[in-house]
Structure 1
Amino acid sequence: MTRQFTGWPDQALEVLLGLDGEPSNATREGCRKDRERLVRRPMIALLNDVADANPRYDDYSVWSYAKHTWMWQHQTATIRLARKVEIALRFDLDGLHVKGAWHYPDPGQVDRYRIAVADSTTGPELDRAIESLRHQGYEISGDVMKVTPRGFSAHHARAELLRYRSVIAGRTLDRDDWLRTEKALNWVLDTAAALDPMVSWFARHVTVPQQPPRARSTITTT
């Protein structure tokens, strides 16, 4: 299958540079067409190719700019894997950032997370997945309690993981030469594969069954 994504052109970074700081409404509107063509459309092509490579990534949205300056300065996209579990992408002047995340949990998800982490079978699976990402240079973050949650021993083998109420693992592609070519797509696919053990764990153990993925969505506003 022919790939759609060929990279972000140099002009894409020039458009974002013109939006840096506090651009006026006139400045934003003046570059709207160029931003759509040079910045957002390549992200749509990228996500189409990612979904073609793996149908699990078919439920995605490439966000529009709305009224918020930040949205104009950063082109974001989301691949939904399960309820509150996603792979998120952001293209801006710093490069292309990709993260796998379980965050903004629904009621009951944190409890399910803690039970699965404490379990002697499912807990080590997540521990290994996160440690593997950390060793590969991913930044691990999230909402972390200062103390072990009530009902769990502070000496538990996975006491550190039990303190998390959300988990995010991400890394940034800051090579401009790759961003200009389809190498960025290969990097995203490799990153998604590396994130898969972690995000799949959350999809299995923290979320509840969802409806089948909807058709691809490329026009989303906030």
Structure 2
Amino acid sequence: MSFTGFPVAALDFYDDLEVDNTKSFWEAHKHVWQESVQAPMKALMAALEPEFGSAKVFRPYRDVRFAKDKTPYKTHQGAFVGVAPATGWYFEISPRGTRVGGGFYDADGPRLAAVREAMADEKTGKALDRLLRRLEKGGFEVGGEQLKTSPRGYPADHPRIHLLRHKQLFVGRSYGFEADALDAGLVDRVREDWRALRPLLTWLSAVQVDRY
């Protein structure tokens, strides 16, 4: 199946799911999710696979075991192509349209320590800083959970303390409902942005392998 775009029904489905996040709604409309969300998502990821690798299309069910919010279904559909543990490219469709991203979304203690060591290093840290600034100039946004204070072992006046505070680091761009945010041209737009994010993922995967 070739990618021809996401139909408006995909957005309508998630609009309705946000209002009625129940098993009865899901069971009555699961066919809409399968046809308008799941199938196009798999087709989009298949179109990108030759260049970027196989994607994981996430399950629609939330893990509510330890969550205060017990609503059973995710109100978005995501897909992820990994290059290292919890590090890779991301794509999502939700009621707010589509968006892309890339970075590391979770790191255990040793891997996070390795990333921070590389951030603090004069050569590799400056290279990352330059890379992120170029991406921001290109319209991407830098995000990810951060500490409010300095991480242990690093002074508050470190020249890259803005990077060292990150517990996650990802860069993304929202497409919203623009003309090529949903139609067949979306595959080219995602491909171009994922290519732009490749140097960041190369940096992140390299420092985790080299220093971990």
User: What interval of TM-score do these two structures reach, taking the shorter chain for normalisation?
Assistant: 0.7 to 0.9
> Which residue of the other structure, out of 99, 103, 109, is the alignment partner of 2:105?
103
Which whole-Å deviations, capped at 9, do the CAs of 1:62-117 have from their partners, x for residues lacking one?
1222365442x211111111112121211011111211121220230121112111
Which whole-Å deviations, capped at 9, do the CAs of 1:12-49 have from their partners, x for residues lacking one?
22322332313332221111112101111101100111
1:62 aligns with 2:91: no
Q: Which residue of 2 is the match for residue 6 of structure 1? A: 4
> Which residue of the other structure, out of 13, 20, 33, is the alignment partner of 1:22?
20
Distance 1:133 1:195 in 2: 8
**What TM-score does the superposition give when structure 1 sets the normalisation length?**
0.82
Larger RCO (CA under 8 A, 6+ residues apart): 1
Matched residue count: 203
Q: Equivalences for 1:1-222 in 2 at 5 Å? A: 4-52=2-50, 54=51, 57-66=52-61, 69-71=72-74, 73-207=75-209
Distance 1:150 1:106 in 2: 15
Gapped regions of structure 2 (runs ≥ 5): 63-70
- Say which SS state the counterpart of residue 104 (structure 1) adopts: coil
Q: Which amino acid aligns with 1:26?
A: S
**What TM-score does the superposition give when structure 2 sets the normalisation length?**
0.86
Change (3 A) 1:208 1:96: farther
Q: Which residue of 2 is the match for residue 216 of structure 1? A: none
Distance 2:191 2:30 in 1: 29
Distance 1:89 1:180 in 2: 12
Which whole-Å deviations, capped at 9, do the CAs of 1:152-192 have from their partners, x for residues lacking one?
33333222212222212111111353234221111111111
8 Å CA contact 1:117–1:123 kept in 2: the answer is yes
Deviation at 1:208, TM superposition (A): 6.6
Change (3 A) 1:78 1:98: same
Identity %: 26
Distance 1:8 1:130 in 2: 30
Distance 1:189 1:64 in 2: 23
- Say which SS state the counterpart of residue 121 (structure 1) adopts: helix
RMSD over aligned Cα atoms: 2.1
